[in-house]
Structure 1
Amino acid sequence: MTAVYPSLTRRPLSDGWQVRAARGPAEVPGSAVPATVPGVIHLDLLAAGLIPDPYLDDNESRLAWIGLVDWSYETTFDVSAAQLAASDRHEIVFEGVDTVATISLNGRVLAEVANQHRQWRLDVTDILAEGANTLAVDFRSPIRYANEQSVILGSRERPYPLPYEAIRKSACSFGWDWGISTATSGIWRPVRLESWSAARLDRVLVRAEPDGSGGLVRVDADLVRASAGALTLAVSVAGVERTVEIAEGDDAVSLTVELEHAERWWPAGHGEQPLYDVDIELRAGTDPIDSASRKVGFRSLRWDTEPDEAGAPFQLVVNDRPIFVKGVNWIPDDAFPTRVDRDRYRRRLEQAKAANVNLIRVWGGGIYEADDFFELSDELGLLTWQDFLFACAAYPEEEPLRGEIEAEARDNVARIAHHASLVLLTGNNENLWGFEDWGWNERLDGKTWGAHYYYELLPKTIAEIAPHVPYAPGSPFSPGMGWDGEAQTGPHPNAETHGTMHLWEQWNRLDWSTYRNHRPRFVAEFGWQGPPAWSTLTRSISDAPLTPESPGMIVHQKAIDGNAKLTGGLVPHYRKPEDMETWHWAMQLNQADAVLCALEWFRSHAPYTAGAVVWQLNDCWPVTSWAAIDGDGREKPLLFALRKAFAPRAVSVQPSGDGLVVALTNETAEAWSGDVVLRRVGFDGTVAASVSVPASIDAWSTVRVDVPAELAETDAAVALTAEALGQRGVWWFDEPRDSALQDPSLSATVTRAGDDAFDVAITAGALARDITLLVDKIAPDAAVDRGLVTLLPGETGVFRVSGIRELAVEQILRAEVTRTANQLVVGR
């Protein structure tokens, strides 16, 4: 008689959880309250009405005790005799535990865990009982544990007080210069019971690559067996199925599926993103006993780092086409990441794509992002770059961290390596630079700091599991760097002429116009601060009066000397306003101006400069920060600056020696030729001089066109406009604060464009600089599709306002709603 094997079953264990304070300075009753899994303790206490919202006012400090408490989670689930007997093996799988915990079933300890960033699979075959089973996860205070480990491992260099380098937990959960300190605990990713017989799939690696006009899909699968016996692995792609027999005793198998025709996957802006389902089935005889699935895209990929006469580039090449990287840095989209579901990922990533972004860098102080993040990036054509989780600190290389770091690297590389969007894995954020320039070497005095991870362990792990995924030891990083056991060798890690660099001197010490003093090969971090949207600010801070320095504002400003840097960065361009709403607008506008200046400059030097990644796209709570989208998901003017600078066809005017040039960027498949129309314009719209310069530009390229000397003279002109490619670039001869900008005399019409959308046409009576509609002041859910629009006298710009049921001209033309740069000059 032929044996019949059941398929592996997966039973979620998400119901019936309760949590209570076990030990420590809890300021809540000791009785258990309902708990959500996946979730974290802050959200459970908030749902139970035991704590206020951590994001409001100074509740962060009021709730600091939570991270000092040990918390106990527990649930009970039933298993029938038939369920026990139906399978040979039973395992409980935790996809993520945050962070230090003892896991028990029916009073027996299954594991002691201390790593937020890895999966745990625990055999409970001999412990699972018929009837009720009690699963408990007892957490230790992450703050106390990290402090204990820092004593054992020895102190290391870091920028913040709590020793986040001594615990494998999201570094920014202890606070950052944009982030709230939560130090939370919880079962933060799903947990389930898996039951199976004969065998199950363990690690499944899938790699897709183009092959002529077709494609190859290679599957490497590791198995875990409960019994001997021949098995079959079947793989199906695009209607093509291949099978391979697995002999008794073998626990690894490989199989390749060949497709005669496979469409190429392209980054956003360069083509389509076709994805192919890869269905994998493990069979015992004819019985399917386990399965897995992946989606893949076919594209070739490399980073060109070959030395040239200037240094070494960092040029992304996809399907043999050089790609200018238009990137943004990504932090966890919520300080409690369990609240970020697929819909929220989609909203945020679609906002990025709408701003013409083509790459998202997942920063190394957060988390390895969820499957939803990478799947949606594949669909949208957004390239992804995932840092390994090391940020701005020296990390011990001793146990237990050493083994945990290898385990988490293996888990996460295997999980994400098949994604078409994944173009780079990076060893750390700023640690190579810190060791070189921030005095770490001397203060460490021979202690380990992470070099083994960045130069040995991580590249070795990638070479074994995902050799098709490029790797860089750090960001910033210069190709040719290495480690000889005592010192880093090769170029400086933040060299302007080699690889990737971070530019932070502008925000910290210099005016943003000095971005133009640099000609980097690739900028992986730079940015400027600005406050969140007005509705976000006033929802989260109840100060009366609300001022830039009122108590709640300071709580929601985490950067060292942040407000002083905001003011210092504003006054070279605008005078500091006295009222709060105008201060808010001035700082948002200056943030956008700073980043726009940098991006247009960097892009004008393509392909020598091969990319720019702005710090940062998103926020994790309501805060004054470098983000383009605030903690409530509202778009700041900075996002409009990204959209303009990253447009497929873009025009900007740049300084060059003693003169000016027009930079034309054509990131489309069609070449362009025509006239660059140059006009020297006065405040009243008068054209003081005009000339047309013939130009042409190939597809996917950038050219620079000299501005005739007589057009670069200021005379009575306020600006030089350059029109080509259907776009306009503007060069302002004076800073706004030194100019004679007038009241723009705006008028408007409002036309309904849908149940909750309106087209707002704004006409300028005089030159209007950087028109931006802060429509959340009319209705908190309202949004607008464009901003930072400059109109010459008599010109009209149309703005689509959505998320609002009724809209009147009088509402739009309120001075605090329709903002311009003129408002920061007129009357001063």
Structure 2
Amino acid sequence: MDNNNTTRLLNKDWTFTQIGGGQGTEDNEWLKTSTFPTTVHVELLHLKRIPDPFVGLHEWDVQWIGEAGWAFKTSFEATEWEFSGINIDLVFDGLDTFSVVSLNGHKILETENQFLTYRVSVKKQLTIGTNELVITFPSTFLKGKDLEKKDAQYHCWNGDPSRLHVRKAQYNYGWDWGPVLLTVGPWRPIYLHTYHTRISNLHISAQVDEDFETDLIVRFAPSSPSASGTAEVLLKDPSGSIVARQGNVRISPGVTQAFFHFEKGAVKLWYPIGYGEQPLYDVQVKVFNDQRQVLDNQVQKIGFRRVRVVEDKLVDQAGLTWLFEINNIRIFCGGSNWIPADSFVTTITPERYRAWLQLLKDGNQNMVRVWGGGIYENDIFYEICDELGILVWQDFMFSCGQYPAYDAFLANVKVEAEQNVKRLRHHPSIVILSGNNEDYQIAESLKLDLDYDDEESDFRGTNFPARHIYERVLPAIVKEHSDIYYHRGSPYSGHKKATTDPTYGDLHQWNVWHGSQESWHSWNILAGRFVSEFGMQAYPNIRTVDYWTGKKVSERYPQSRTVGNHNKAAGFERRLELYLIENFKHAFDMESYVYYTQIMQAETLAAAYRVWRRNWAGPGREYTAGALVWQINDCWPVTSWSIVDYFLRPKPAYFAIARELRPYTVGIMRKHRKDYANKRTLAHFTITSQLEIWGTNSTLEKKNAKLQVTSFDLEQPDWSDRWEMNVTLAPNASTELWKGELPGQPVRTRESEVPKSIVVSTRLLDEDDTIMGRCSNW
């Protein structure tokens, strides 16, 4: 019987060595890998040939790995049966990063991009019997330095600037939350693919109109232009039942297409968390030869949904909305930014991905942003997001840099973008593709050639050449190969405005912590139309601190060298203490310091979500349409802006944010008003304290509730004030509930009069007195 289409993973009997010998291995000493795919750090750590770089200062004891050359090899058998296929390819789903691949002594491939899949025809080099596959990896760091010397040195925030010339996960070069660990090796699967004809480009487009009528267009092309035969296209619902079928579709030399139209209700729509279910349909394409033998069979899961990014005028503010509308429903996006969940991504199991993403769902978050300094995530990440109803904002992999755009770099990027758009486009969870992270901001900061009025010039001739990538190359590829909305960068305002303009596009609000280091009580005046980054640092769980100190008691204090190495943010000591001293009287022992930073982070981030959800005030008043905290996770044990640490241990901020993202919430703001007796005095005035109370409702139905407000004086325990009122929360909006003077607080006429310590607690109760939301203010 002919071998029409088989794949075989080459994941056994791999060994590796340091080229020329050194600290890792002796010269020509080949060590067996413990797993595959893998990278050098993982294997040396498994063999105890290096210390754990996550402990103590050992990060700096393994820097030589990134500057050495390495090789991996395996032997495998090829059978006569496999040779019966017309085509035999070796497929490399990911090689990190520069490499030369040889099969039986013949060079078959050179690579220069971690984010690419490489496919090589090897029938001529393959033999029946034993075959040897060798992959040699020169130092990515040194190759990057060579490219930098050949072209130019550009500017960047974080890491060595040579990273800008290398298509590799940029965070490996070190970030303000991550170590310098330059990984190397075969980081994604390698397999042997034997076939006659394969489907080389399956493109499924599910287009849902405003009335929920749906067109499903399935396009595919055979790998061989001379292929003949037929195809069958099936659509199966979540139960496996066939919803639609087209059989005996004649394969054309170019692209073959099958078209389906569904009236409203014929297929179920996919919704994000909190707005409906997440039905996933299978699209199955089978290709037959003229003898009705199956040549290829591919299945992709899809969801039917209508996505728009809406920029509308506002009723009473300048600028435009910038919001996501899913199936005609305008969505407030509350979520997180995502970085790679490990410095060694091959160690992230599907179970670990699921645990992370389940934390998002359990925390009432409905969006995750895959940040542009990491990786295009593994398929399982997006599959889980599809299943759970988590919206995905996907960056292209450019971050915090003045990237080049010379010919070879541009050609490399084009293939990378096309491959990854094609790989990811069928996922219903992915609602936006963004060109970069903060590259427009670095251009503004450095005063590079960036004229937002100029859309026509040859940007490659400027000192901001990557603008050509973000405004010409990437949007063209996204438009040609997907239906996903493209955004030039994050942040990016559009409309000829700077990235700091809060009235257009998305905003990275770093004037708390970075920038002008505003008080976190000022979130209400630091809002934007969509705040895609903001944050506050906190220490992780004390057990995580003990992990990195290696239980070395002498290093177990906030100012120790080891603790300092596990916080990569510039000036973190001063900034942490600035925010702590403004808000707390605190101690400095390790447990206390951990606790106080965590409480500060929780209060800071909860306050942001609280006031920005207030800005989601209904049609024409969607002043803030989203808030994505920086960040949900860590790539190693560290003090950072994460709300869950490396070991999946949530910080208090995780729970505080979950409370503020419940379907129903209540918020309080306290304001102090100073009125002078007349325009000619500074001595005569009154100071009054006022409260503003609002509620939010993310459901699509109005909600009747009871508002309870309790005030008490911390220094006068026998005094309190309690009252309640019936309220109605508008659907999918915030509602102003009450405004008035702060109970128990006398009017002050002198600055020397110390205000009373009045704490106000408010609750929203359902008809059966179930607590729907709560908030305290002091």
Question: What is the 5 A alignment of 1:645-794?
Answer: 645-655=660-670, 658=673, 659-683=690-714, 686=718, 688-711=720-743, 713=745, 716-725=756-765, 726-733=771-778
- The structure-2 alpha-carbon separation of the partners of 1:596 and 1:712, relative to structure 1 and needing over 3 Å to count, comes to farther
Q: Flag the 1:233–1:152 CA change in 2: closer, same or farther, 3 A.
A: farther
Q: Which range moved further: 366-375 or 689-698?
A: 689-698
What's the counterpart of residue 398 of structure 2? Answer: 390
- Following TM superposition, by how much is the alpha carbon of 1:257 offset from its aligned partner in structure 2, in angstroms? 3.1
How far does residue 448 in structure 1 lie from its aligned partner after superposition? 4.1
* Residue number in structure 2 paired with 1:781: none
Aligned twin of 1:623:
638
Deviations 1:398-449 (A, max 9, x none): 132111111010011111111111111000001112111344449x993343
Residues 268 and 353 in structure 1, CA contact (< 8 A), matched pair in contact too: yes
Correspondence 1:388-787 to 2 at 5 A: 388-441=396-449, 446-466=462-482, 468-480=483-495, 490-508=496-514, 509-542=517-550, 543-545=552-554, 546-606=556-616, 607-655=622-670, 658=673, 659-683=690-714, 686=718, 688-711=720-743, 713=745, 716-725=756-765, 726-733=771-778
Distance 1:393 1:694, change over 3 A: same
Give, as a single letter, the amino acid of the residue that structure 1 aligns with 2:255.
A
Summarize the alignment of residues 49-198 of structure 1 with structure 2, pairs less than 5 Å apart: 49-84=48-83, 86-162=84-160, 163-197=162-196
1:228, distance to aligned residue in structure 2 (A): 4.2
What amino acid does structure 1 have at the position aligned with 2:165? A
Give the SS at the match of 2:178. coil
Deviates more, 1:671-680 or 1:636-645: 671-680
Separation of aligned partners in 1, 2:384 and 2:75: 35
SS at match of 2:179: coil
Q: Distance in 1 between matches of 2:148 and 2:694?
A: 52
Amino acid in the other structure paired with 1:665: T
- Match of 2:532, as an amino acid? A
The equivalent of 2:680 in structure 1 is none
User: Which whole-Å CA distance do the structure 2 matches of 1:440 and 1:244 have between them?
Assistant: 57
Q: Structure 1 residues 110, 586: closer, same or farther in 2, change over 3 A? A: same
For the residue of structure 1 that corresponds to 2:208, the secondary structure is strand
What residue in structure 2 maps to residue 15 of structure 1? 12
1:305 aligns with 2:304: no
User: Quick one: distance in 2 between partners of 1:583 and 1:68?
Assistant: 38
Count matched residues: 716
Q: Write the deviation string for residues 100-148 of structure 1: whole angstroms up to 9, x where unpaired.
A: 0001111111111010011100110111111111111100101101111
- CA shift at 1:216, angstroms? 3.3
1:171-192 per-residue CA deviation (whole Å, 9 max, x = no partner) reads: 0011101111111101000010
Superimposed CA distance per residue, residues 597-653 of structure 1 (whole angstroms, 9 cap, x where no aligned partner): 111111111121111000000011100000011011111111111111111111110
Pick closer, same or farther for the CA change 1:130–1:447 going to 2, 3 Å: same
The whole-number CA distance in structure 2 between the counterparts of 1:437 and 1:649 is 40
CA distance in 2, matches of 1:256, 1:657: 63
Contact map agreement 2:669 2:777 (CA 8 A) in 1: no
In structure 1, how many angstroms separate the alpha carbons of the residues matched to 2:521 and 2:141? 42
Give the drift of 1:306.
Answer: 3.2
Q: Which of 313, 317, 322 is the aligned partner of 2:325?
A: 317
For 1:268, the equivalent position in structure 2 comes to 273
The verdict on how the C-alpha distance between 1:62 and 1:301 changes in structure 2, with shifts beyond 3 A counting, is same
The one-letter code of the counterpart of 2:462 is G
Separation of aligned partners in 1, 2:10 and 2:355: 29
Q: Is the 8 A contact 1:74 1:137 kept in 2?
A: yes
Deviations 1:552-572 (A, max 9, x none): 101111110112211111100
Q: 1:723 to 1:226 in 2, by over 3 A?
A: closer
Letter in 1 for 2:661: F
> Is residue 205 of structure 2 the alignment partner of residue 201 of structure 1?
no
1:719–1:730 Cα contact (<8 Å) kept: no
Aligned partners of 1:330 and 1:362 also within 8 Å: yes
Quickly say closer, same or farther: Cα 1:397–1:213, change in 2 above 3 A: closer
Please tell me the residue identity of whatever aligns with 1:373.
F
Task: Note the alpha carbon deviations across 1:385-407, whole angstroms, 9 max, x for none.
Answer: 11000000011001321111110
Structure 2: any 5+ residue segments left out of the alignment?
451-459, 617-621, 674-689, 747-754, 766-770
More displaced 10-residue stretch of structure 1: 515-524 or 267-276: 515-524
Equivalent AA in structure 2 for residue 242 of structure 1: Q
1:712 & 1:503 partners in 2: Cα distance?
36
Residue aligning to 1:757: none
- Give the secondary-structure state (helix, strand or coil) at the position aligned to 2:115: coil
Aligned residue among 22, 29, 32 for 2:30: 32
Task: Measure the CA separation in 2 of the matches of 1:353 and 1:247.
Answer: 43
Q: Give the Cα–Cα distance (whole angstroms) in 1 for the partners of residues 227 and 711 of structure 2.
A: 83
Q: Is the partner of 2:223 in helix, strand or coil?
A: strand
Return the letter of the residue paired with 2:637: P
Corresponding residue SS for 1:408: helix
User: Is residue 98–residue 187 contact of structure 1 (8 Å, CA) maintained in 2?
Assistant: yes
SS of equivalent to 1:708: strand
Q: Is the 8 A contact 1:33 1:48 kept in 2?
A: no
Counterpart in the other structure of 2:453:
none
CA-CA distance at 1:723 after TM superposition: 2.1
Question: 2: CA distance between counterparts of 1:654 and 1:5?
Answer: 74
Aligned equivalents of 1:411, 1:730: Cα separation in 2: 47
8 Å CA contact retained: 2:615, 2:623:
yes
Residue identity matched to 2:272: P
- C-alpha deviation, 1:244, in angstroms: 5.1
**Once the two structures are superposed, what CA deviation does each residue of 1:716-760 show, in whole Å capped at 9, x if it has no partner?**
452112222434544433xxxxxxxxxxxxxxxxxxxxxxxxxxx
Superposed displacement of residue 227, structure 1: 5.2
1:89–1:226: 8 Å Cα contact kept in structure 2? no
Give 3-state SS (helix, strand or coil) of 1:410's partner: helix
Give deviations 1:180-221, integer Å, cap 9, x for gaps: 111110100001000011x11111111223365664322111
Amino acid at match of 1:298: F
Give the match's secondary structure for 1:677. strand
Identity of aligned residues (%): 29
1:252 corresponds to 2:255 = yes
Match of 1:291 among 289, 297, 313: 297
Q: For the structure 1 residues 352 and 247, does the alpha-carbon distance in structure 2 shift closer, same or farther, using more than 3 Å as the test?
A: closer
The secondary structure found in structure 2 opposite 1:707 is strand
- The alpha-carbon distance between structure 1 residues 499 and 711, as it changes in their structure 2 partners (threshold 3 A), is farther
Distance 1:281 1:675, change over 3 A: same
Q: 2 CA distance for matches of 1:117 and 1:303?
A: 28
The SS at the match of 1:419 is coil
Q: How far apart, in 2, do the equivalents of 1:617 and 1:39 lie?
A: 25
| 1:688 CA drift (Å) | 2.9
Alpha-carbon separation, structure 2, partners of 1:257 and 1:537: 56
Tell me, yes or no, if the aligned pair for 2:322 and 2:530 is still in contact at 8 Å: yes
Decide whether the 8 Å contact of 1:628 with 1:638 is kept in 2: yes
Q: Which moved more, 1:299-308 or 1:65-74?
A: 299-308
Conserved 8 A contact 1:329-1:615? yes
